Amino acid sequence: MTQSPQQRYEALKSMLLLRKKSIEAEQRSSEQEVRSRIGRTLSLTAWAQSMRNKQDQDIEYTLIQQCERNLKLIEKALAELEVGIYGICKRCLEPIEQSRLRALLYTELCGNCADTADFAQQHDQAKQKDEKARVKQNTKPGQMKL
Ligand SMILES: [Zn+2]
């Protein structure tokens, strides 16, 4: 199935807007939860400020913060979409698969490049493991004695 750039743009835009809506809804419901807890006297901003310095993080506070962060990311993605750089692989500069973007909204690599990146990382980790094993072998308990 081939898709024109216009169709891809529309599809990605509606995907991002849909996600934005659901985050906003989540944020609203968290804020309502807080509102019912703190009452009308305290403003949400004042409440958030008081939470910021707390050691044990309030679950609603964490959720609201997360929503705010995600909304910023969505706004950024939407802005990038407008200038044509959203959903483009940073490595091979090919459009990233839409199914992949749906699962990983802010991914910067296409499936192919991510696979090779994963492979390289695993390879690195395996190498480090080998290195550790080698070091271990060279320092046998017997050799540690003076
Ligand atoms: Zn790529």
- In-domain check, residue 75: yes
Q: How far is the CA of 37 from the centre of ligand 1 (A)?
A: 47
Average pLDDT over residues 70-95: 96
- In-domain check, residue 104: no
What's the whole-number average pLDDT of the chain? 87
Q: How far is the CA of 48 from the centre of ligand 1 (A)?
A: 40
Q: How far is the CA of 98 from the centre of ligand 1 (A)?
A: 13
- For residues 61 and 51, what is the distance between their CA atoms, to the nearest angstrom? 7
Contact 64, 34 (CB under 8 A): yes
- In-domain check, residue 115: no
Percent of the chain with pLDDT over 70: 90
Q: How far is the CA of 115 from the centre of ligand 1 (A)?
A: 9
Query: Cβ contacts of residue 10 below 8 Å, gap of 6+?
Result: none
User: For the CA atoms of the chain, what is the radius of gyration?
Assistant: 24
- In-domain check, residue 137: no
What confidence category does residue 33 fall into, taking pLDDT thresholds of 50, 70 and 90? very high
- In-domain check, residue 18: yes
Domain count, the chain: 1
At residue 140, the pLDDT reads 56
Q: How far is the CA of 113 from the centre of ligand 1 (A)?
A: 4
Contact 66, 48 (CB under 8 A): no
Cα 73 to the center of its chain, rounded Å: 9
At residue 142, the pLDDT reads 56
Label residue 87 left, alpha or beta by phi (over 0 means left) and psi (-120 to 50 means alpha): left
- In-domain check, residue 37: yes
- Whole-structure pTM over 0.85, yes or no? no
- In-domain check, residue 52: yes
Name the residue range of residue 62's domain. Answer: 5-86
Q: How far is the CA of 70 from the centre of ligand 1 (A)?
A: 24
Q: How far is the CA of 136 from the centre of ligand 1 (A)?
A: 39
What confidence category does residue 3 fall into, taking pLDDT thresholds of 50, 70 and 90? confident
At residue 136, the pLDDT reads 67
Query: Cβ contacts of residue 86 below 8 Å, gap of 6+?
Result: 12, 77, 78, 80
Q: How far is the CA of 96 from the centre of ligand 1 (A)?
A: 7
- In-domain check, residue 122: no
Residue 84: burial class (beta carbons within 10 Å; 0-12, 13-18, 19+): exposed
CB-based neighbours (< 5 A) of ligand 1, an ion: 89, 91-92, 110, 113
